Amino acid sequence: MYNPYQLTNKTILVTGASSGIGRTTAIECSKLGAKMVVTARNEVRLKETLDALEGCGHQMVTADLTNPSDMEKLVATIPELDGLVNDAGIAVMKPVPYIRQKDLEKVVNINTFAPVLLTGSILKRKKLKRNASVVMVSSVASMGSFELGNSIYGLSKSAIKTFAEYCAMEVKNREIRVNSIHPGMVATSMTQNTSLSDTEEMDFSKYIMNRCGKPEEIAWAIAYLLSDATLWMTGSQLIIDGGAHLA
């Protein structure tokens, strides 16, 4: 049956695959026929992701992408790719007067430096095939969805949005497309642990759908960007936030 959204015979690398959106993306892509390469820092949780993948021929590489030697090992290990999903990320909630350099370094190293350097290294080693798709997982925090105390995360994801646009321009002659995806609040372990107050309840009043997102709802959109259905889509930003950007 004809299906432009299937991922059969595609090899896809997902970072941050030990939990949350990254894990769910890897699982959903495997259901669509992709051969997955999954990476993250936590070997135990990453193995759980590997075991949850459908099909065979998948690969896991434990790596801390803020560690240059780990990144070099990862790039040397992976096969040629049809898709790259830069998902690994963290959030630190701090009001502006209380931001310290160590907070900035912690978030930006993982959210910005790591995906930029990984993408560059993979391109340099020519491990992205023609017509490959790169998906940079940014956030609505980079597009005017402001939340008190979230400035560090917002700036790190704003940089990713801009990088995706520049990268799309640079790789156009290799027919590689680069897009960014911008989720709103999604129910993952990261979002549950980053509120300013342990007693603070999430306010969904600005979400038209009146709820936060589910990881699979973001994973399906990422799979769409990886598929041949988006061969003429690059340098774009896909917002998935339950309509919150309209508020």
In a 3-state reduction of DSSP, which class is residue 67? coil
The token pair that represents 120 in the structure block: 């560059």
**Rounded to 5 degrees, what are φ and ψ at 147?**
-130, 130
Report the CATH superfamily, name and number, of domain 11-242.
NAD(P)-binding Rossmann-like Domain (3.40.50.720)
Distance of alpha carbon 204 from alpha carbon 147, whole angstroms: 13
With a pLDDT cut of 90, the percent of the chain lying above it is: 83
Q: Is 128 left (phi over 0), alpha (psi -120 to 50) or beta?
A: beta
Instruction: Report the 10 Å Cβ neighbour count for 56.
Output: 7
Which distant-in-sequence residues (6+ apart) come within 8 Å of 79 by Cβ?
A: 11, 37, 127
pLDDT above 50 (res 221):
yes
pLDDT above 80 (res 247):
no
Give the mean pLDDT of the chain: 93
Q: What is the pLDDT of residue 197?
A: 42
Q: What is the pLDDT of residue 194?
A: 52
pLDDT above 70 (res 202):
no
Q: What is the pLDDT of residue 146?
A: 78
- Note whether 75 and 63 are within 8 A (CB): no
Q: Which pTM was predicted?
A: 0.93
In 87-242, which ranges are E strands?
Answer: 128-137, 177-183, 237-240
Distance of alpha carbon 170 from alpha carbon 58, whole angstroms: 30
What integer is the mean pLDDT of 98-106? Answer: 96
Nearest CA to 233 among 160, 189, 177? 177
pLDDT above 80 (res 209):
yes
Residue spans of the domains in the chain: they are: 11-242
The token pair that represents 238 in the structure block: 């896909």
Q: What is the pLDDT of residue 245?
A: 81
Residues 53-71 pLDDT 10s:
999 999 999 999 999 999 9
pLDDT above 60 (res 191):
no
